[in-house]
Amino acid sequence: MSWTITLAGRSHHFRDLRTLMAKATPHRSGDTLAGLAAESAEERVAAQYLLADLPLRHFLEELLVPYEDDEVTRLILDRHDAAAFAPVSGLSVGEFRDWLLAYETDATKLRALAPGLTPEMVAAVSKIMANQDLILVASKCEVISRFRNTLGQRGRLSVRLQPNHPTDDLRGIAASMLDGLLMGCGDAVIGINPATDQVTTTCSLLHLMDELISRYEIPTQSCVLAHVTTQLRAIEQGAAVDLVFQSIAGSQAANKSFGIDLALLREANEAALSLKRGTVGTNVMYFETGQGSALSANAHHGIDQQTMEARAYAVAREFSPLLVNTVVGFIGPEYLFDGKQIIRAGLEDHFCGKLLGLPMGCDVCYTNHAEADQDDMDNLLTLLGVAGCNYIMGVPGADDIMLGYQSTSFHDAHYLRQVLGKRPAPEFEAWLEKVGVADRAGHLRDNPLALADAPLALGLHTTQP
């Protein structure tokens, strides 16, 4: 199907749905790189006008990637819940925006609607929404997940403690873990990106985290963000695997570039579930995404990067994960050029993931060759906090010395919790008070006596000559 519209005496033609979606997307460098972006603001507005009038049901009829060619498309269509979709099935994209923004549309309605929405529908409506629209609707969504604690409740903000080290040095990682815990961080997960993707390293890191969590009875979970096949081998060797991690994308070809498919993810999910390590829930998967991943693998099928990102959320949704986060500015300025584009993308990703029923977090980040700085990250961090983001990253000094990018720090979590009145996950909050890290008001204490022996227990103790 094609569309034509005349604005200010000029005719604009869009040959198919992929073109219309791409041209309606707010400007970003990745779509320009791919030759998909609108050539002018006028063309973008023309595409947005047409997109707003498009019936939502059209996305079930005109597929962006052919059903027979792509298992992600098959997943999206085969899992679509027509009964859940019914309340909005007669709406256009523009009318759907109005429905989402209505006072009467609350968390209960959005939760019931989620299985009836496809990624393309939520990507489309996001393209005609202002930043404040994305924030308001996302803030209505409450997506709760559980493993050893409860994440995503309204009024809560959790933190992934990210103690990476460039040589996977256990002492360096242990020091960062202790630093984060003493700053009240780590309730989302203690998650390490290993410098090398080796089973022996993965097992050593898992043992270190399991020993810490068990010794101090910390109501949290651990994860080593190695490739899923490495984690499966670690499980076979008896390693203490809580969550299984994998980066995912929005097409079969892009996932193939990651060395995965849906069958492998199902195997990993079943393996993690078989260990029965959760205490309050069984959400055992952790996924990361990011705009531009499909394009960087030349596996985007001529689709704009934001829509491809939303399609990745269909993959995540299939496995009822504990955690999903967009690593929003990590890929670089080729895909999101500056702070303005990173902020917009972060709000879009969070909105689309939440609307599809996912427990969304965000790695508020940028690379040093992007036209962005920490002020931009402060802004996005604050906006996501208002939007109800489930969790953020806690990186020592906000500078990941292994991955070489800029993120958010342990201190940033305290800023956001204080300014918005947010608290950690309830079980973790009780633990922080029990061990003396924080008081009932959530204020950090200077002398957490229950963790006094932690440096010695973690092998960090050194005797003076």
What are the Cα distances from residue 76, in Å, to 67, 72, 79, 81?
A: 9, 6, 6, 10
Cα–Cα distance for residue pair 128/166, rounded to 1 Å: 42
Q: Are 259 and 188 in contact (CB under 8 A)?
A: no
Please report the pLDDT score of residue 446 as a whole number: 73
Amino acid (one-letter) located at 442: G
Cα–Cα distance for residue pair 95/88, rounded to 1 Å: 9
Q: How many residues does the chain have?
A: 465
For residue 457, pLDDT beyond 90: no
What's the angle, vertex CA 224, arms to CA 223 and CA 228, rounded to 5? Answer: 105
Here the tokens at position 208 are 């270190």
Q: Are 357 and 317 in contact (CB under 8 A)?
A: yes
Give the model confidence (pLDDT) of 91-132 as tens digits.
999 999 999 999 999 999 999 999 999 999 999 999 999 999
Confidence of residue 444 (pLDDT cuts 50, 70, 90): confident
Residue 8 has a CB neighbour count (10 Å cut-off) of: 7
For residue 447, pLDDT beyond 70: no
With a pLDDT cut of 90, the percent of the chain lying above it is: 93
Please report the pLDDT score of residue 123 as a whole number: 98
Amino acid (one-letter) located at 408: T
Please compute Rg for the chain using Cα positions.
22
Give the model confidence (pLDDT) of 376-402 as tens digits.
999 999 999 999 999 999 999 999 999
Task: Indicate the pairing of strand 399-400 with strand 405-406.
Answer: antiparallel
Give residue 302's region: left, alpha or beta (phi > 0; psi -120 to 50): left
E-assigned strands of 296-400?
323-327, 360-363, 391-394, 399-400
With a pLDDT cut of 70, the percent of the chain lying above it is: 96
For the segment 143-154, the average pLDDT, to the nearest whole number, is: 98
Indicate the average pLDDT of the chain: 95
Beta-bridge partner residues of 326: 289, 362
Could you identify the residue written with the tokens 């993965």? Answer: 202
Please report the pLDDT score of residue 1 as a whole number: 87
For residue 459, pLDDT beyond 70: no
Cα–Cα distance for residue pair 214/236, rounded to 1 Å: 21
Give the model confidence (pLDDT) of 222-271 as tens digits.
999 999 999 999 999 999 999 999 999 999 999 999 999 999 999 999 99
